Amino acid sequence: MNVGIIGSGGREHAICSSLKKSRKIREIYCFPGNAGTSLIAKNIEIDLTNFEKLKELIQQFNINLIIIGPEKPLVDGLVDFLKKNEINVFGPSKIASQLEGSKIFTKNLCKKYNIPTANFGVFNNIKESLSFLEKCTFPIVVKADGLAAGKGVYICESLEHSVNAVKEIFNGKFGEAKNILIEEFLKGEEMSFFIISDGENYKKFGSAQDHKRVLEGDGGKNTGGMGAYSPSRLENEDLNKKILEKIIEPTLKGLKDLNTEFVGFLYAGLMIIKDEPFLIEYNVRMGDPECQTILPRLKTDFFEVIKACTNKNLKKIKLDWFEEKSICIVLCSKGYPDKYQNNIEIKNLEKIKLGNNSFIYHAGTKLKDSKVYSNGGRVLNFVTRSKKLKESRNDLINLINELNWENGYFRRDIGFKLFEQ
């Protein structure tokens, strides 16, 4: 079969690499892909908002299955469009994608189905928001309602900070904002929890610990993710059972009650407080960089898993995993998550020697005249799978230092809570 992947980040390079191992795949196409995917697939430059052009290219290249990586095409209804045109696609419908597309949609679902989450209020203007904040105890969380590339969440320690957050959101920092979400701050430890579903059945698909804050020790601004490790140190059978019964299953039921089903990856961002899970947010796709730590641990043919989902056959698939843990360090452009420069050449990549269980997944990169240039805030993902994760983290740091990209920076403490145990 020919397979197409929508997206251009580290997640998509990891998906591409995992699919490449399957003997059932003839050719992989990436729309638009990056410098890393160009080495193992055919990159097709395209505007992803142009669904008609995308359909024409899928038909032109005889692509039998499309896998959608990022959130925006899902929220915009690409799955519905492709299905309507009889193209086989893996991902949730436009309605189901509201779990990520609207934080308020998800909060209302939580309220209706008694899914544990933080107490919240929804506001549609600055005046009401500020009036509410004056009565709050801090810290408090302020969220933009729509998609914000992982950055539309403010953890506010003071009234002044929260007022600034509200004004930035309503003044369009993350696009037009009709509503804002203000919720209580839950104090615990975060966990990323994944399932994969074919619309009728689901299976757990690993866990991870993401490090979203820009500074070491989990300080500073939120980013799309500075690194991760898998599985989460919090994971155990009892907690998994609670997550599935209290959060995942009521959510899937809620979608069915809306006459839709969930096909794809569902990522629950959780806060674990005294062994009890609370939902912070949903993503309707694999996380980034969590995907880069989870897929290298999967033994089962990834293509067979995806194909089974599109055929409503997931029940027959057995998911096997390597015993080793994995860790990812993200090399970012200096200035990220604020202003940063693109088009900075990355030299010496071909000289980096990787072990059998180590990987470099490209994220914000592009290929021009056979040279690799930066093309985003998060640029490269250095990943390894190992039984000795702390030593492996040191090895990854050494690889990044060996690359010696002068425009880059990274966190050296990914997994610090795991190593402090």
**Sequential pLDDT tens for the chain (421 residues):** 999 999 999 999 999 999 999 999 999 999 999 999 999 999 999 999 999 999 999 999 999 999 999 999 999 999 999 999 999 999 999 999 999 988 889 999 999 999 999 988 889 888 889 888 888 889 999 988 877 655 678 888 999 999 999 998 888 888 777 888 899 999 999 999 999 999 999 999 999 999 999 999 999 988 989 999 999 999 999 999 999 999 999 999 999 999 999 999 999 999 999 999 999 999 999 999 999 999 999 999 999 999 999 999 999 999 999 999 999 999 999 999 999 999 999 999 999 999 889 999 999 999 999 999 999 999 999 999 999 999 999 999 999 999 999 999 999 999 998 887 6
Q: How far apart are the first and last CA of the chain?
A: 46
Q: Quote the pLDDT of residue 151.
A: 60
C-alpha angle 72-257-290 in degrees, rounded to nearest 5? 35
Whether the Cβ atoms of residue 281 and residue 269 lie closer than 8 Å to each other: yes
Q: Quote the pLDDT of residue 128.
A: 87
Give the closest residue to 223 by CA, choosing from 417, 414, 13, 404. 414
Token pair in block for residue 161: 């900070």
Bridge partners, residue 141, by sequence: 155, 183
Q: Quote the pLDDT of residue 92.
A: 97
The amino acid occupying position 241 is: K
CB atoms within 10 A of CB 222: 16
User: For 60, phi and psi rounded to 5 degrees?
Assistant: -60, -40
- Residue linked to tokens 């020790």: 217
Q: Quote the pLDDT of residue 148.
A: 62
Give the closest residue to 314 by CA, choosing from 206, 192, 208, 204. 204
Q: Quote the pLDDT of residue 377.
A: 97
Look at residue 192 and give its three-state secondary structure.
strand
C-alpha to C-alpha distance for 36 and 360, rounded to whole angstroms: 8
Bridge partners, residue 62, by sequence: none
Q: Quote the pLDDT of residue 421.
A: 64
Instruction: Quote the distance between the C-alpha of residue 128 and its chain's center.
Output: 32
